[in-house]
Amino acid sequence: MIERTFSSPYVDIAHLLVPVLWFGLLVGVCFVAVPVKFAAPSLSLPVALDVGRVTFALFNDIEWVMLALTVVVVVFSGPHALPAIATAFLALILCVQTVWLLPVLDARVTMIMAGGAPPPSSYHLYYIAADVLKAGVLLVMVWSQASQLSRALAPAHHGRRHGIAPSVLPGQHS
């Protein structure tokens, strides 16, 4: 088995915090901020779509940074199948969104802003499905790392009762 590339509690914590942060950004941008703008009565559809286009373009760049951070953390945390597979899956989803879905959706927004009416399509639903998949993968990564950290910390707390260190429990010699 290949040994861990870099042993540090900071890497272990980053391995938990990076997907938590990415998940929070994803929920905040894609499932809260962007949909809510369509409920604003003062925004016309073309303006709301234009704001959405700019938001998703910037968020896509941020997600590439989050993916890069995830790759670094996974590499430095050692060879574990789940984080590596999850990271590869996140990269695949992000590539599909960047190369295929965002350009298609951008073209549709441009057409609507120019007064056109694009034919009905499922691209928006595909984008939402990709975001839901990303959220699921990120939650699996968070759960996995939180479980690992919990198991790693459990021996340190084994035997502690009411703030008494294990070395001074009744029946033990110091």
CA distances to 38, 47, 129 from 51, in Å:
10, 6, 21
Q: Is the pLDDT of residue 109 over 50?
A: yes
How sure is the predictor about 121, in pLDDT bands with cuts at 50, 70 and 90? very high
Q: pLDDT tens-digit profile of 22-61?
A: 999 999 999 999 999 989 999 999 999 999 999 999 999 9
Q: Where are the domains of the chain?
A: 9-150
Rounded mean pLDDT, 114-124: 96
Model's pTM, two decimal places? 0.84
Q: Residues 6 or more apart from 43 whose CB is under 8 A from it?
A: 37, 51
Q: How far apart are CA 133 and CA 128, in angstroms?
A: 9
Q: How far apart are CA 36 and CA 15, in angstroms?
A: 31
Give 129's pLDDT tier (boundaries 50, 70, 90): very high
d(CA 65, CA 138): 15
Rounded to the nearest 10 degrees, the angle between the axes of helix 81-96 and helix 45-76 is: 150
pLDDT digits (tens, 9 = 90+) for 143-158: 999 998 888 877 655 5
Q: Indicate the pLDDT class of residue 169, thresholds 50, 70 and 90.
A: very low
